[in-house]
Structure 1
């Protein structure tokens, strides 16, 4: 195992080194939170695939394959479908908004009254997502080094908090690219073919397992439907996902790169299910389905390769954990803390996204503030992960409230001009309360609460919007201008930066890998019942 340990240690050291390198790139709020909105297709596709395919999609996806066969792919498959829908139908408009959070989008669309409520809901969701991802370190480091649970969580958590705090989204993007490559090699190119060969091939697998293991809906039609409601719809509105969309340098990158990442998710889903099915043939009596991944890696792979595949599992957890952490900190700082400060007389100055010239001091302050919030949220996440043994119910509650309360006002704002601020608030309240009440009555893991919540949210949104006055024409005009990518506030720092970037402003350079004067993959620009299996 010495070689495997060396591979893991080098991988972890590399993550911290990239965090340090990313710190040199994060000169402004835009750089720190959304990588300067400058990612090209390759980096955008890699980082988007990394954020949605976490430890749950890897370890949990293999576990579902072990338990249900090929239909165990549905959980990760619905994640891919949601990402495809987001990329094809919404990502271009989302990227053109030039905001940092989902709540800022709601403020723009409805006139600034829905943000604080949606911010609290989104913060709770991203916090619990980060906690569950951090808990996963205990399983992986126990397999690797036999570490105590608390020590494993603290070790893994500190590494993620370290590189995320240093360079923000630039560090996370760079580490995500490494994690994407490691997952592709470790899971798709190494573990998948080895598992199938060890199990005797598909013919032997079909001969030794029940027919349900190869039925498309062997996991159950109701479960698939719930996955669609929670995971596919969750992809459309999660802050962790939107924050990656904001990193795209243009409409085409958001659409094309997201489509590539979504397609990759579909392949990854099938691979995990096949690996789990092979594990069922090889080890039919494991204590838990989630043990299937670690067991087949330890027994079926040679030294060195085993370390790489375990690094793939670790990278999957880290990509989700870091993405959820920066999303949680962004919401806490920009949607909650900044609003509270404004409520006592604080006024936030618009960010120009450049971090140079007369804006340098303000840019440094904003980067410092967001860095502090990542550190604070990271400490809170590690503490909660150490204190909780099982947060499935807490994550389910957060996810159901997120989708049940926010899906309708967000998609309604994008698709229906008659939707109003009162309708949005009514939808959040009706959907959230219905979900919570239904889970209290039927159980947190029941399938019905999300259906009831979405129905109540949609009804409240439509009825209250139609019963009240339409949204102010000036608000809608500004919203349509922003969606079109032509903000009306010409002359603002953000607008000036956009125009300067389009004209080839000096100091904003397109990147080519390996070029010392050009940074990687950039060009000028303006400024989910839930098992513990959310990637």
Structure 2
């Protein structure tokens, strides 16, 4: 049987496994949090493998190996180091991120600042995620075209249908669990190719150590590209983009606790380092087996050439599944990340704030398919958009890196400072890129090394300057927006004793048994579903007017707060918003209450759920309705 036929068999089995995972987890979806964040139940191992898998594409294996082959160790500042350091830095700041009950970065920025900043950032992230996904489709069709001569349309269709099926069915749980399978396959591919190149080199009479020694001093010089200043330039220019990328942040929010998030992302960084070490070994072996490549593309293609030249049909088919895994593991992450912005930050926030959970589940699935479809369509008409991806990344970086990171750590950061950074940084970057592409027609770093990567350092500098200057010149944000991020503000705002419920009362005894509880890490997950119906027993003739109801609730009971719109309402009794009672519209005639307190606060939050029920019941009466369990 030829390699292509074997590949199709292996692919069918592989897709069946992925779809089976998606179907299994489809039964555990009840809310948008379940779909987009896996119910906030992920442990460190899953997060680690998923994070690494999501940041290694098929193209990345070729790129890293090609850069090592062409430049040497000094190339780490271009791709490898920013890739690994990005995850490590995000792990370090995960404590600041985890307790904010957001599903997306734009939602976090609205909690910190103001609604006006949310939609522009959501659109920017969505565009970036689409372009990232396109590169994975291009890498996949390149591999299949090189190995089997498969038509690009068929290659893209295979990948698009596969990813759309298991992601739209299983949501984020399917993404992270399939990522584990996919990482094992792509890591196996990287290990095998590294071993193959070293073994073939040894068969030619040159061992790996001898080949490494023969590479020359320049090849081993980590500061080859501009010395220490050059390395620092790459670090400052590139790492902010990796740190600000949304998908690892969503894994933090999906983690069962802060420790799981931190350990998982650190593990992800180590797994990335392992795969790139394999790429380094491969590059050393390739330097013995083939003449020096003339350029980057030729260097990258040697990764595929050694496979096609050296392995049996069965092994070629199996290794191609490894490339498929590398491509799909990134596409599923980028598709869900981008679709979550459209769903959460645009549709649910602005267009359909009163949508039921059933409606949002349908919308979520449709958006995932749409995101994948758009990426696939672009990939069919492009051979390489790496530069477009870099352009989109640097525009995003210069726009919202300072607002989002500064908002986590600096109390004086204001909405106007954030908007100024968005406009000044992003606007400057767009102007620089326009000048480079339309007038200069050569890279900006031909003028100065400070203008590397489309002049991103200039855009970042202006973004940071305007962020600080305008923030200092405008009034600080109210304490209610600062409290979730800064403990001292929270102590000032919430430093009061809260009332305790009478747990012996009949009302409490009726509600308490209906509170569902489960434990994930160091937090308890409390859930309570209320049914609202006409108080007279007859049909009320219409559904609960959700937005009017929320407005009345926040007026009557000041603890209720809508920092991100009427689709989700918090009973803000403490700074840890994740622990606070939150209310969302459930299915049809349901109101869903939930809280995720630390384990030591379980009983306190049971009391707060009781008070929340009473307050909701009081307001429902004003609409001629009543709450039941």
State whether TM-score is above 0.5.
yes
User: CA separation in 2, counterparts of 1:156 and 1:239?
Assistant: 23
Other-structure match for 1:320 = 330
1:434–1:449 CA contact under 8 A, matched in 2: no
User: CA separation in 2, counterparts of 1:280 and 1:199?
Assistant: 9
* CA deviation map 1:66-96 (0-9, x unaligned): 22233344412221111101102x1122121
Post-superposition shift, 1:230? 4.9
Alignment partner of 1:370 is 2:364:
yes
User: CA separation in 1, counterparts of 2:179 and 2:139?
Assistant: 18
Q: Give the TM-score normalised by structure 1.
A: 0.84
1:513-528 aligned within 5 A: none
1:459 pairs, out of 461, 465, 481, with 465
User: CA separation in 2, counterparts of 1:249 and 1:85?
Assistant: 20
1:294-443 aligned within 5 A: 294-341=304-351, 346-348=352-354, 362-443=356-437
Alignment partner of 1:475 is 2:501:
no
2:167–2:174 CA contact under 8 A, matched in 1: yes
Other-structure match for 2:518 = none
Post-superposition shift, 1:64? 1.5
Other-structure match for 1:195 = 197
Post-superposition shift, 1:34? 0.9
Other-structure match for 1:43 = 46
User: CA separation in 2, counterparts of 1:150 and 1:4?
Assistant: 17
User: CA separation in 2, counterparts of 1:172 and 1:491?
Assistant: 26
In structure 2, relative to structure 1, the CA distance for the partners of 1:348 and 1:290 (3 Å cut) is farther
2:347–2:353 CA contact under 8 A, matched in 1: no
In structure 2, relative to structure 1, the CA distance for the partners of 1:223 and 1:8 (3 Å cut) is farther
1:183–1:313 CA contact under 8 A, matched in 2: yes
1:485 pairs, out of 554, 568, 576, with 576
Post-superposition shift, 1:212? 2.5
In structure 2, relative to structure 1, the CA distance for the partners of 1:206 and 1:297 (3 Å cut) is same
Other-structure match for 1:247 = 254
The SS at the match of 1:246 is: helix
Post-superposition shift, 1:58? 1.4
* CA deviation map 1:331-355 (0-9, x unaligned): 11222233441xxxx5347xxxxxx
Post-superposition shift, 1:417? 0.5
Other-structure match for 2:301 = 291
1:65–1:274 CA contact under 8 A, matched in 2: no
User: CA separation in 1, counterparts of 2:578 and 2:210?
Assistant: 61
Post-superposition shift, 1:499? 4.4
The SS at the match of 1:185 is: helix
User: CA separation in 2, counterparts of 1:391 and 1:491?
Assistant: 42
Other-structure match for 2:553 = none
Q: Give the TM-score normalised by structure 2.
A: 0.72
For structure 1, which runs of at least 5 residues remain unmatched after alignment? 350-361, 506-535
1:45–1:260 CA contact under 8 A, matched in 2: yes
User: CA separation in 2, counterparts of 1:223 and 1:149?
Assistant: 39
For structure 2, which runs of at least 5 residues remain unmatched after alignment? 445-451, 491-571, 585-591, 606-629
More moved, 375-384 vs 30-39: 375-384
2:87 pairs, out of 83, 87, 99, with 83
Post-superposition shift, 1:281? 2.0
Higher relative contact order (CA 8 A, sep 6+): 1
RMSD: 2.7
The SS at the match of 2:102 is: coil
1:30–1:36 CA contact under 8 A, matched in 2: yes
How many residue pairs align between the two structures? 487
Other-structure match for 1:277 = 284
Q: Higher helix share goes to which structure?
A: 1
Post-superposition shift, 1:428? 0.6
User: CA separation in 1, counterparts of 2:117 and 2:430?
Assistant: 20
